[in-house]
Amino acid sequence: MLRTKRFIAVAVAVLGLAACSQPQEAPDTETTIAAETPVVVIATPASGARVTSPLVVEGTAPGDWYFEAQFAGQLRGADGAVLAQAPARAQEDWMTEAPVPYRAEFTFAVTQDTPATIVLQEDMPADNAHPREVTIPVVLTPAG
């Protein structure tokens, strides 16, 4: 019984001290994630843009996305079918961890407005991991 009372007294004291201590700030997870995940930027076209063929996609990607100065690009329909493929080619030296400008040009033919997604995918992911990718929705429009 005496042991139980001592245990309760110690537990109350510990809890009391914990309640009086300064609160710890939560880690800045956004900064941590950004530091670990390279950012791929699609500068053009804008999300949701109405685009015609040939569709030029430009932006920047970290050097580790490239293999032999390019990485994979696809245009996928709403059903996931591949409508067009084109390599995103480095426009500068890609042998760096810094952002490197890229350019991809997709050719397609549609007869009506068609929702689609631009998919850019890193080339040669490490250790057989699933490749990282970035997507952006667009609307393919007939050439006119």
Residue range 68-124, pLDDT digits in tens: 999 999 999 999 999 999 999 999 999 998 999 999 999 999 999 999 999 999 987
Output 13-17 pairs: Cβ under 8 A, ≥24 positions apart. none
Clarify whether residues 107 and 56 are in a common domain.
yes
Q: Kindly calculate the radius of gyration of the chain based on its CA atoms and give it in whole angstroms.
A: 25
Clarify whether residues 23 and 68 are in a common domain.
no
Q: How many domains does the chain have?
A: 2
Q: Are 84 and 75 in contact (CB under 8 A)?
A: yes
Clarify whether residues 53 and 117 are in a common domain.
yes
Clarify whether residues 7 and 60 are in a common domain.
no
Clarify whether residues 91 and 118 are in a common domain.
yes
Clarify whether residues 9 and 46 are in a common domain.
no
Give the domain range for residue 115.
38-140
CATH of residue 102: 2.60.40.10
pTM metric for this prediction: 0.71
Residue range 24-55, pLDDT digits in tens: 444 443 333 334 455 899 999 999 999 999 99
